[in-house]
Amino acid sequence: METYKMNNDVLDYHFEIINDGNELTESFCRKWDIYSYCDRYNEKLKCSFVGMVVKKDNILLSFPKHYHVDKVILRDEKSKVLQDMKDILHIIKRDRELYGVEPGQLADTIPVDAYQYILTYYLEFGLYHRQLRDTVKGYKGHINWHQTINSIRPLLSDGNFIYSPFVVNCEYDESIFITECMDYVLFDFYNTFQTLLDDIHPYKRQFYNPIFDEYDFCIAKLQTLCGRLFKDYERLLLKSLIRYFQWKSNRSKSSKFLTLYFELVWERMIHMYLSKHIRIWGHDYEITKEEQPCKLNIIKPDSMDIEQREADEKSRFSIQFDHFFKTCTSKKQPLILLFDSKYFTNDVNSFNYKQAFYYYYLRGKYKNAIIKSALVIPTSGKRKTVVHVDRQHIDGLYIREEYINLKDVIECYKKSIS
């Protein structure tokens, strides 16, 4: 099978830049092998991922919505935009480490999570080494008389019991294959992606075995070993090795590291940003560009039932707030901040009924509270506030649209997870 290796100087590659949500042509999707990562509406294809695709000497970078990037030609321009994507991929990787791999990730994406576990094991324990003890039927080795007598039916000959074959103790070193698998993965990943991804540990290959070109054999051998008695962390090592070889076996001629769920990443990033950039003044709030000295304890509450049911019945409907903060004003009046993160391509152009329902739900629960509600939306421009709906003179409903520069949010989140 053809194995694809990158040139060391990735800045000589041809770069193409798109954004999540861009409309794409059939030929473009076919060229980059990204049909599975696009949505089709009314015969139109739209990009639905954030991340990187590498194919031969070409790189496709798909940035989030509202992340403006100019076309790149010069090496310095390529270096800058590649580092920007590395920062985003680092955030996606850390997000998966904290919350797990999101649903919908397809098998041909680069198994960074598998590599990360193999690397962590290597940095803590070194290359795998463990001698396994077992018993087999045969004549070479130390006879295990206890198992021989209890498991082998003897033959009677001239008044003597004859056991054939014996059960013998044997030791064999499975570490050789597992060690070489680890060695292969650590070197292959470093050699392939060192210029494209951060957090990759330098590694020089110690062994060479042509068997690692036979991916299906390696998978079958590792799966057999999984059936043996291993400790939990060793099983995770074997499963990570299997995942890596499955990717090598099934992948196309392109390499992909991406997410189909950047809206989840946006929600977690904005949660951190709000907690550090909100200033309470009087009975209102302000989102500041500068980080505030006091971090707010903004939470994501558990889902809540919204129906009145019998004690032993479960509600069919529930709600869950994205970002919730409750405090008191200087006059001891409850103040509630409620934000809903929205990963939109354009500005809001329709009434948000969900956020309105949230307000009425909270108004029923906290009758005397001051409730400030807002939609939080990324923008490539300057920070701004827009009134979404104003019914203060009727029933108090007042919802804002808070537009926050996406690059500022990414920079804040990157610092917090470094």
Measured CA to CA, the distance from residue 112 to residue 94 in angstroms comes to: 11
The per-residue pLDDT for 154 is: 67
Question: What SS3 class is residue 6?
Answer: coil
The per-residue pLDDT for 102 is: 66
Query: Are the beta carbons of 275 and 292 closer than 8 angstroms?
Result: no
Query: Are the beta carbons of 200 and 194 closer than 8 angstroms?
Result: yes
The per-residue pLDDT for 7 is: 43
The per-residue pLDDT for 345 is: 83
The values of phi and psi at residue 308, to 5°, are -90, 115
The amino acid occupying position 17 is I
Measured CA to CA, the distance from residue 54 to residue 347 in angstroms comes to: 32
The pTM (predicted TM-score) of the whole model is 0.82
At 171-184, the pLDDT tens digits run 556 678 899 999 99
Question: Residue 77, exposed/middle/buried by CB under 10 A (0-12, 13-18, 19+)?
Answer: middle
418 vs 87, 113, 290, CA distance in Å? Answer: 11, 18, 19
Measured CA to CA, the distance from residue 399 to residue 373 in angstroms comes to: 5
At 145-156, the pLDDT tens digits run 666 666 666 666
The β-bridge relationship of strands 58-63 and 14-19 is parallel
**Does residue 165 have a cis peptide bond before it, meaning omega lies within 30 degrees of 0?**
yes
Buried/exposed 301-334: b ≥16 CB within 10 Å, e otherwise: eeeeeeeeeeeeeeeeeeeebbbbbbeeeeeeee
Strand partners, 74: none
In 3D, which of 405, 400, 375, 372 has the Cα closest to residue 388? 400
The per-residue pLDDT for 190 is: 94
54 vs 14, 51, 148, CA distance in Å? Answer: 10, 10, 58
Chain mean position to CA 200: 16
pLDDT under 50: residue ranges of the chain: 1-7
